[in-house]
């Protein structure tokens, strides 16, 4: 590093397990470059590399489903699933704090969309009971597993009780849950002590770009639903497939999670508790929770931008999150902890943030 360069500690990444710099993950990608830098075509016209097929089998095994289908991004996964399954004879019930990709997928599906209050199962049941849906209509309920901006966890047991009563198709987006919650990092179902094969979630959506250290998304479900998506989901059909190197890196990261998930999640939880405790003791306005997404809600956009800028000057890379990503008046610093952070890095970061908070 020369005198004009500066080192930063990153606390704004979704690299929850720190695997993007894991040697074996990088080497897996390098080795797969022997098969070409790109896939050169969509999977239905040009086929796909064995790395993609292997990854799908591995994902299905890890999530406890019959099958899985890989998309090019997590965003396109939500669009592709909702766009393919729902139509004008469908009703989708969506949590008000769902990710933008879910919101956009609902919009383009053509279905009637009803938004329920965040994680409020009583409000959801009120909407379900009062709608008077014709028997010929499909009903979907879709929710994040871990919500990306607040870091809280969906009330899955209550959702499953409603599913048994109202017989809807349940879609859970585990983008921020895989590798993060559950004893071994399997996600929302495991967090609540449920097995993937019988957990009651019809489609588990996720991403390869966070805990799995690569790029892409996936839908894990029954063989029937995955086969339907392969032939009906336009974002899947008309996109060039992910290159072998990306699939190989994701698959190696998943193998590490399968092997070392318990210890990695324990380290992530330790780091999360340490950071939360230090910031809470300093009096910062945190959103309560247990996940490594730690929002510091500052309210005004200008205040959040200033705070982010001051952190940057002090060697801490943090992003100010403001509308439309979050509601007006709730601009925040979205701090994320990873299993790769050292205790010293966490304590140093908390000290700088606490001092800036008192100063600003």
Beta strands in 56-117 (DSSP E): 67-71, 90-95, 112-116
Instruction: Indicate which residue of 148, 209, 249, 319 is catalytic.
Output: 148
Task: In whole angstroms, give the CA distance from residue 239 to residue 42.
Answer: 5
CA distances from 241 to 54, 216, 356 (A): 14, 10, 45
β-bridge mates for residue 294, sequence order: 335
Query: Quick check: is 341 catalytic?
Result: no
Query: Quick check: is 148 catalytic?
Result: yes
Q: Are 280 and 322 in contact (CB under 8 A)?
A: no
Query: Quick check: is 176 catalytic?
Result: yes
Residues with Cβ within 8 Å of 110's Cβ and at least 6 positions away in sequence, in order, are 86, 87, 88, 90
Task: In whole angstroms, give the CA distance from residue 211 to residue 184.
Answer: 12
Beta strands in 67-181 (DSSP E): 67-71, 90-95, 112-116, 138-144, 169-173
β-bridge mates for residue 69, sequence order: 219
Instruction: Indicate which residue of 176, 184, 186, 341 is catalytic.
Output: 176
Instruction: Indicate which residue of 48, 210, 233, 341 is catalytic.
Output: 210
Q: How many CB atoms lie within 10 A of CB 5?
A: 6
Helix axes 74-85, 100-109, angle to 10 degrees: 30
Q: Report, as residue numbers or ranges, the catalytic residues.
A: 148, 176, 210
């Amino acid at each position: 590093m020369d005198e004009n360069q500066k080192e930063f500690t990153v606390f704004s990444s979704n690299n929850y397990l720190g695997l993007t710099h894991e040697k074996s993950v990088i080497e897996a990608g390098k080795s797969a470059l022997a098969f070409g830098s790109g896939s050169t075509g969509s999977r239905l016209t040009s086929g796909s590399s064995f790395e993609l097929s292997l990854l799908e089998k591995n994902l299905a095994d890890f999530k406890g489903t019959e099958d899985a289908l890989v998309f090019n991004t997590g965003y396109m996964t939500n669009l592709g699933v909702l766009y393919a399954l729902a139509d004008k004879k469908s009703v989708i019930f969506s949590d008000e704090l769902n990710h933008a990709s879910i919101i956009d997928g609902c919009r383009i599906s053509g279905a009637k969309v009803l938004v329920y209050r965040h994680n409020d199962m009583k409000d959801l049941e009120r909407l379900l009971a009062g709608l008077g849906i014709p028997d010929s209509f499909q009903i979907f309920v879709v929710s994040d597993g871990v919500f990306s901006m607040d870091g809280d966890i969906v009330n899955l047991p209550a959702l499953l009780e409603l599913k048994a009563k109202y017989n809807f198709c349940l879609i859970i987006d585990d983008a921020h849950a895989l590798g993060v919650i559950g004893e071994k990092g399997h996600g929302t179902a495991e967090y609540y002590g449920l097995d993937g094969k019988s957990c009651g979630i019809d489609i588990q959506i996720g991403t390869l770009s966070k805990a799995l250290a690569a790029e892409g998304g996936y839908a894990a479900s029954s063989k029937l639903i995955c086969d339907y998506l392969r032939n009906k989901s336009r974002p899947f059909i008309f996109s060039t497939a992910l290159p072998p190197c990306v699939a190989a890196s994701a698959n190696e990261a998943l193998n590490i999670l399968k092997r070392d998930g318990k210890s990695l999640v324990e380290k992530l939880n330790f780091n999360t508790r340490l950071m939360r405790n230090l910031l809470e003791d300093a009096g910062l306005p945190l959103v309560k929770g247990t996940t490594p997404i730690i929002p510091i809600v500052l309210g005004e956009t200008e205040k959040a931008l200033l705070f982010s800028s001051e952190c940057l000057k002090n060697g801490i890379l943090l992003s100010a999150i403001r509308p439309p990503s979050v509601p007006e008046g709730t601009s925040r610093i979205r701090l994320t902890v990873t299993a790769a952070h050292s205790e010293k890095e966490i304590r140093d970061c908390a000290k700088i943030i606490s001092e800036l908070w008192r100063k600003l």
